[in-house]
Each structure stands twice: as C-alpha cells, then as structure tokens.
Chains A and B, each alone.
Chain A
Amino acid sequence: MNPMPTITDEERSELRRHGILLTSVEELYNWGRSHSVWPLQFGLACCAIEMIAASMARFDIARFGSEVFRPSPRQADLLIVSGTVTKKMAPQVVRLWNQMAEPKYCIAMGACAISGGPFKRGYNVLKGIDRFVPVDIYIPGCPPRPEALLHGLMELQKKISGQSISGPEAPRHLRHDTSCEYPVPEFGDHDLVPPKNPEVWKVPESPPKD
C-alpha cells in the first residue's frame, strides 16, 4: 500500500546529499528486517556443507547480515532446509518451523529439499519440504554452490523489502486471519499422516502439452 510518491527518487537522493533522509515507516521497517536475517543453525545433508562454506571467510555470509546462525529456533528468522528431508525427519523439521517466531522465512536449498531430488522415488524421502512448510525461496542445485545460496538470500531480502506492512498483502505475522502454526505430520503405518498439508501444497498443474 505505497502512497503515491510526491517526490521522485532523484529528488530524494539529492536531499540525501544534503543530509536529509526521507523515508517511510514501511521502508525503514523492511530495511531493518531484511538486513539481519538470522538463519537457524540446522543442516540435513551435503547441502549443509555448502551452507557452512557460505558462512566461512571465503564467501562470508556476514556481508549480508546473516552470519548469526542461531542454535535455537526461538531466535532464528530463517529456516534453510539444506538437504534431504527423510520422512522420519520431516515432523522434526515442521516442529522446528513451528517453534520459530514470526516473521520467519524458509529457503529450500537444493534438489532434495525442493522435490526429493535424486531420492524422489525412494520410499523414505519426503518429496519436497514445501508439502508441509511454506517455502519462500527455492535454490536449485545438487548441491547449490555458496554463491547460489547467497543469491537466494539476496532474493529473500528483496522479497522482504517488497512486503507491505498493512493490507491483504501483509506478511503472516502482521495479519490476524492466518495461522502461524502448521500441523506436524505423524508417523503412520505406511506413510506420514497426513502425507502433505493441503493448505500449503497442492498438486501442481501439469505443464501444457504440445
């Protein structure tokens, strides 16, 4: 819900040169949120190795304000699902997601977290974490390089910066009509019960046939 700008960006930068900062609450709020995204210190498979590399000196995720990997979900803003989610692990991942405080975001890192990847036809692998958790950014790769993770993080920052803080487009934590609690699947006789959260994931439309 951006009000119509009454001054142009050039005028604003001209004012900034003279030491006058003009901004909106929304812009300031989103700027603050998007530049201190704290990820959960949590890895599942080989993608986690790339995530660790991204946090080290060579790639240095600290340049983007996300170097503070929190060992507790209560203090984290970002769940990087880095690796294969087995069906046995899926309830724990959803539980961690539920324990994170809003506003929170989720990155599905790598082929396995997106769709099950090379293990998609296995009996024991969840075919994408987006069946239970709303995913904001998908990073393809097997595993994605640290640069790809950083790119994903920058895309997430763009997404956060573009969110409006009121109205129907507001993020989950600023609304009252959406729940921040996601049902945790249980271990069934043959599969997870339920096998997916229909509120979050639907069978995608088929690609058009030629």
Chain B
Amino acid sequence: MEPLEQICSRLLARFPGAEVSVLPNPGPAAQHSLLVGRASVREIAEFLRDDPLLRLDYCSNATGVDWPEKVIVDVTKVTTPDPAGGPPKVSEVKTERLQPGYLEVVYHLYSMELRHGPVVLRTRTVNRTDQASVPSLTPVWRSAEFQEREIFDLFGVVFEGHPDLRRILMWDGFKDHPMRRDYVEPEDYEWEPTPHGDLVEKAKRARPPVKGGEPVA
C-alpha cells in the first residue's frame, strides 16, 4: 500500500480545500492516521473505498475517543537586554490557554480485495456538548452501523445520516454517556469485603453513621 503521506497528498489534490492531514503517532507502533475534517469526511471515505489503488472496502472497527478540555501552558522565553551592558536576562513567560474538548471517531479500514491495511481514519466533532456531531459513514461501509450506534450510546457522538441511530447497549431512557471521561457512575457500589481507595468513601456514604461517630467503612 502506498504510504499515508502519499494518500494524503492525493486526497488534497483530488479534494482541494478539504481538511486532510496526517496525524502522527509518536508511540513505537507508529501507526499514523488520516485526520479528516467533518465537512469532507463522507466524500473522502467514498474515495478511499472506490479508488482503484486503495479499495478500502472493509471497515473493521469504529470507535470513539473523548478528549476533554484541558489547560495548556505555553512557556515562551523572553530575552531582555541588560541596559548596563551585562548578559541579557532570560525570563520565562507562562501563558495558559484552554484547549476546547472534542470527541473523536476512529475508523480502521482494510482492503479485502487488495489485501492491505489498515488505514486509520479520524474525524472530530466541534465540541462535546451541543455540536457533537459528525457525518455517518454507515452509507459508505455498512459494517459501521452498529459500531456507530455504540459510539452514540457510550460517547454521545451524533452521526448525521445514520439510518437507525438509537442506543444499542444501554436502555433508551438512559441519559448519560458512560465512556466519557467526566461520567459519574451511580451510587450503587455500596459494599465490598475489603474496600480500598475511593471505595472506602463510597462504602461510608452508603451506611448510616454508627452512634455518635463516623460511618463505618
């Protein structure tokens, strides 16, 4: 299979104006992925499936990643020349900026016909709350249907154009998205023979206080 950079440049040539980039994986696996913007992911997916050199006809896996918002500290070095003529003073200026959170959907694509792969395709939502939607790729790869439903269920990503977007594991009236990092599980973990860590606090909350003292764990 051609290298990912080449696929990326071909995509940019074919779809001018599309947001496509190679997202490097710094780990030892070095499995880099294609990061595609929401607006063009659908036509790019169709291209990846139909292109005679790629023929990525099999979506083996779709999954989600939750990236909560985080504070990033930028450190810039400021050099101020010493008016007395000594060596210039170097001071570090720290600026904090808030990186907004988003949800990411990851597709692993293989080619059954040409026997190569995987190509990892990623796309991201605008934020984690009111604009948590990406186009569905179920019309491109039918195998993504249940997995996109699972991502919708557990991460809360809304797939536009999905034929049957319902919860698949949890019940319909369930309000939370349990795989998000800020999920708070219900207080149904009252007892363990040897509670430890944060379980001690949970176990204490589940018990009435003994006479005049702390609840027993």
* 24 pairs, A vs B, C-beta closer than 8 Å: A88-B169, A88-B170, A88-B171, A120-B192, A123-B176, A127-B188, A127-B189, A187-B173, A188-B173, A189-B173, A189-B176, A190-B175, A190-B186, A191-B186, A195-B186, A196-B188, A203-B191, A203-B206, A203-B207, A204-B191, A206-B203, A206-B207, A206-B216, A206-B217
- A121 on the interface (CB 8 Å rule)? yes
A203–B208 Cα gap in the complex (Å)? 10
CB pair B188 A187 closer than 8 Å: no
A195–B207 Cα gap in the complex (Å)? 15
CB neighbours of B216 from chain A (8 A): 206
CB pair B190 A203 closer than 8 Å: yes
CB neighbours of B192 from chain A (8 A): 120
- B193 on the interface (CB 8 Å rule)? yes
- B178 on the interface (CB 8 Å rule)? yes
CB pair B189 A124 closer than 8 Å: no
CB pair A189 B178 closer than 8 Å: no
A136-177 vs B, Cβ < 8 Å mask (1 yes, 0 no): 000000000000000000000000000000000000000000
A110-133 vs B, Cβ < 8 Å mask (1 yes, 0 no): 000000000011011001000000
Among residues of A, the one whose C-beta sits closest to the C-beta of B167 is A88
Count how many chain B residues have C-beta atoms less than 8 Å from C-beta atoms of the other chain: 24
CB pair A124 B170 closer than 8 Å: yes
CB neighbours of B173 from chain A (8 A): 187-189
In chain B between 161 and 217, which residues have their CB closer than 8 angstroms to a CB of chain A? 169-176, 178, 183, 185-186, 188-194, 203, 206-207, 216-217
Residue from A190, A195, A206 in contact with B176 in the complex, judged by beta carbons closer than 8 Å: A190
- A207 on the interface (CB 8 Å rule)? yes
A195–B65 Cα gap in the complex (Å)? 29
* Given A88-B169, A203-B207, A189 and B189 contact (CB-CB distance below 8 Å): no
CB neighbours of A121 from chain B (8 A): 189
CB distance from A149 to the nearest CB of B (A): 24
A88–B171 Cα gap in the complex (Å)? 6
A120–B194 Cα gap in the complex (Å)? 14
A203–B215 Cα gap in the complex (Å)? 13
CB neighbours of B190 from chain A (8 A): 203
A143–B24 Cα gap in the complex (Å)? 43
Give the residue among B169, B188, B189 with the most A Cβ atoms within 10 A.
B188
CB neighbours of B206 from chain A (8 A): 203
A66–B144 Cα gap in the complex (Å)? 45
In chain A between 179 and 209, which residues have their CB closer than 8 angstroms to a CB of chain B? 187-191, 195-196, 203-204, 206-207
CB pair B169 A124 closer than 8 Å: yes
Give the residue among A188, A204, A206 with the most B Cβ atoms within 10 A.
A206
Top 4 closest pairs, chain A to chain B, by CB: A191-B186, A187-B171, A123-B178, A189-B175
Among residues of A, the one whose C-beta sits closest to the C-beta of B199 is A121
CB distance from B214 to the nearest CB of A (A): 12
Among residues of A, the one whose C-beta sits closest to the C-beta of B207 is A203
CB neighbours of A127 from chain B (8 A): 188-189
CB distance from A64 to the nearest CB of B (A): 31
A188–B188 Cα gap in the complex (Å)? 13
Among residues of A, the one whose C-beta sits closest to the C-beta of B188 is A195
* Given A189-B173, A203-B207, A206-B217, A124 and B178 contact (CB-CB distance below 8 Å): yes
* Given A187-B173, A188-B173, A206-B216, A123 and B193 contact (CB-CB distance below 8 Å): no
Among residues of B, the one whose C-beta sits closest to the C-beta of A186 is B173
CB neighbours of B185 from chain A (8 A): 123
Among residues of B, the one whose C-beta sits closest to the C-beta of A116 is B189
CB distance from A163 to the nearest CB of B (A): 29
In chain A between 73 and 128, which residues have their CB closer than 8 angstroms to a CB of chain B? 88, 120-121, 123-124, 127
CB distance from A8 to the nearest CB of B (A): 44
CB neighbours of B188 from chain A (8 A): 127, 191, 195-196
